[in-house]
Structure 1
C-alpha cells in the first residue's frame, strides 16, 4: 500500500501516482491543468462546521481527528469511497492532494491514517 500526502500547490513529483484532490473547495490560484488530477473527491472533505471549529489549531487535532473519523464512519457514501481508495492503493501509488498550508494538522493526514489502518471497515 502506497499513500502519499502532498500539497496541491507543490510541483508534481516524478514518482507519479493516482492524484486525488480531497478538498471540498477548489484550491485558489491552481488551474485544472496544473493540478493534473485523476479525480476530485470533494465528498470526502470534512463538514464546514467541523472545518471552522478546527481552524488548523494543533491543540484541537486529536479531537478533530476523532470527530472527522466519526463523520466519515456515519456516511455510507464516504465509507464506500474510502474502501475504493484502499483497494486502489493496494495496486498503485495514491497521492492525496490538499490545499492546507499546515502539512501536519489537516484532514488529509486523517484520511491517510484511516486508509492505511483500515479500522473503519
Structure 2
C-alpha cells in the first residue's frame, strides 16, 4: 500500500504528491471549487453529521470519536474501499479543512485505511 497523507485544503501550496481526495461532508469555506485540484470528493466516507457535531473538535472527545467513527466506517465499506484501492496504486492525500491537524476525521480515516490494507 502506498503512502496515505493528511493535509489541509488551505495549504494548497505545500500539498504532498499523490491522488487528492476531499474527505469532508461539506465543502470547505472560502475555497473555490476550481482552485482545488481533486481526484475525488468522497462525502460518504466522512463522519455522520450527528457524530461530527457531537465531537465538535473537542480534544477530550477524541478517543471516543475515533471509536464511533471506526464503527461507522466498519458499517460502510463501500465508502472507504475506493480510497484504500487508490492507496494501493500509489500515494494518496486525504484533504480536510480541520484546524486541529492531529485530531480530525481525516487522521482517523488514514489510520483506519492503514489498518485495513
Q: Which residue of 1 aligns with 2:43?
A: 42
Question: How far did 1:14 drift?
Answer: 6.6
Within 2, Cα distance between the matches of 1:118 and 1:33?
32
- State the Cα RMSD in Å: 1.5
1:24 CA displacement: 0.5
2:109 aligned partner: 111
Q: What is the aligned partner in structure 1 of residue 71 from structure 2? A: 70
**2:16/2:93 contact within 8 Å kept:** no
Distance in 2 between residues matched to 1:93 and 1:39, nearest whole Å: 14
Q: Unmatched 5+ residue regions in structure 1?
A: none
CA distance in structure 2 between the partners assigned to 1:14 and 1:107 by the alignment: 18
Deviations 1:74-116 (A, max 9, x none): 23xxx12322211211221100000111101110011000111
1:38-80 deviation digits (Å, cap 9, x = unpaired): 10001111111111111101111000000011011123xxx12
1:98, 1:117 → 2: CA distance? 20
Other structure's SS at 1:95 match = strand
Q: Report the secondary structure of 1:56's partner residue.
A: coil
Aligned mates of 1:109, 1:102 — CA distance in 2 = 10
| Count of aligned pairs between the two proteins | 116
Give unmatched runs, 5+ long, in structure 2: none
CA distance in 2, matches of 1:12, 1:81: 28
Q: CA deviation at 1:35?
A: 1.2
> Aligned with 1:11: secondary structure?
helix
